[in-house]
């Protein structure tokens, strides 16, 4: 009786020690859910969701503090992916956070630019090159189209232009089968 108790207690101690070791040794740093959500978000860093960047929004979603339909650049497809990941119902994009637009990039009218550097400070991804009292320009491949540089510009020289489709980026359309109504004989 006593030996049985001792054996069971011994097993419990050994297993407990193993579990304790495993919880320290194999501890997952950071929140894997946040990273998964962050991977779905478009990384525009526009702040339209009400959070300062995509990562904070991902953290808020993971904590349940934000809805999944607050990201206009991610659009409907992004919401669907988030709903799939989190096992939530799909919701249409919330209107107060903005509307889905085609991908665009900012373009600076270089003749008008006065070199105030305000846009450089606003750009979340360092895609604007320029120095004080020098002309600024946007590195188009790095621009995420977040529009954050547009309001600070004192001379309104920044315009958002949609990215045109080129032969390289063109996609074949989803095959659509025309259905013809059969004429009654």
What is the spatial distance between Cα 40 and Cα 74, in angstroms, rounded to a whole number? 8
Q: Which of 123, 115, 120, 113 is nearest to 144 (CA)?
A: 123
Compute the least distance from the CB of residue 51 to another protein, in Å: 13
Please, which residue, 4 or 181, has the CB nearer to another protein?
Answer: 181
State the burial class of residue 96 (Cβ atoms within 10 Å of its Cβ: 0-12, 13-18, 19+).
Answer: exposed
User: Residue 71, Cβ neighbours under 10 Å: how many?
Assistant: 29
Q: Does 173 bind another protein (CB under 8 A)?
A: yes
The stretch among 6-14, 61-69, 79-87, 136-144 that binds another protein (CB under 8 A) is: 136-144
Q: Does 129 bind another protein (CB under 8 A)?
A: no
Q: Does 45 bind another protein (CB under 8 A)?
A: yes
Of 31, 33, 36, 43, the one binding another protein (CB under 8 A) is 43
Q: Does 142 bind another protein (CB under 8 A)?
A: yes
Strand partners, 161: 105
What is the spatial distance between Cα 27 and Cα 25, in angstroms, rounded to a whole number? 6
Q: Does 48 bind another protein (CB under 8 A)?
A: no
Compute the least distance from the CB of residue 122 to another protein, in Å: 11
Residues 6+ positions from 105 with CB-CB distance below 8 Å: 138, 140, 143, 145, 160, 161, 163
What is the spatial distance between Cα 124 and Cα 132, in angstroms, rounded to a whole number? 18
Please, which residue, 9 or 142, has the CB nearer to another protein?
Answer: 142
Q: Does 133 bind another protein (CB under 8 A)?
A: no
- Interaction site with another protein (CB under 8 A): 38, 42-45, 53-55, 124-127, 141-142, 144, 165-167, 169-175, 177, 179-180
């Amino acid at each position: 009786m006593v030996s049985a108790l001792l054996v069971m207690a011994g097993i419990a101690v050994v297993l407990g020690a193993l579990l304790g070791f495993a919880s320290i040794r194999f501890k997952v740093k950071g929140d894997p859910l946040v990273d998964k959500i962050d991977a779905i978000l478009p990384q525009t860093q526009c702040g339209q969701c009400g959070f300062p960047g995509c990562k904070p929004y991902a953290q808020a979603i993971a904590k349940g503090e934000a809805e999944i339909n607050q990201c206009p650049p991610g659009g409907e497809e992004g919401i669907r992916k988030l709903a799939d990941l989190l096992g939530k119902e799909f919701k249409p994009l919330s209107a107060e956070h903005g509307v889905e637009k085609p991908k665009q990039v900012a373009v600076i009218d270089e003749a008008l630019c006065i070199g105030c550097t305000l846009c450089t400070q606003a750009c979340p991804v360092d895609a604007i090159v320029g120095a004080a009292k020098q002309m600024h320009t946007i590195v188009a491949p790095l621009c995420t189209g977040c529009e954050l540089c547009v309001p600070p510009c004192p001379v309104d020289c920044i315009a958002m232009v949609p990215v045109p489709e080129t032969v390289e980026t063109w996609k074949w359309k989803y095959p659509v089968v025309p259905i013809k109504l059969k004429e009654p004989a």
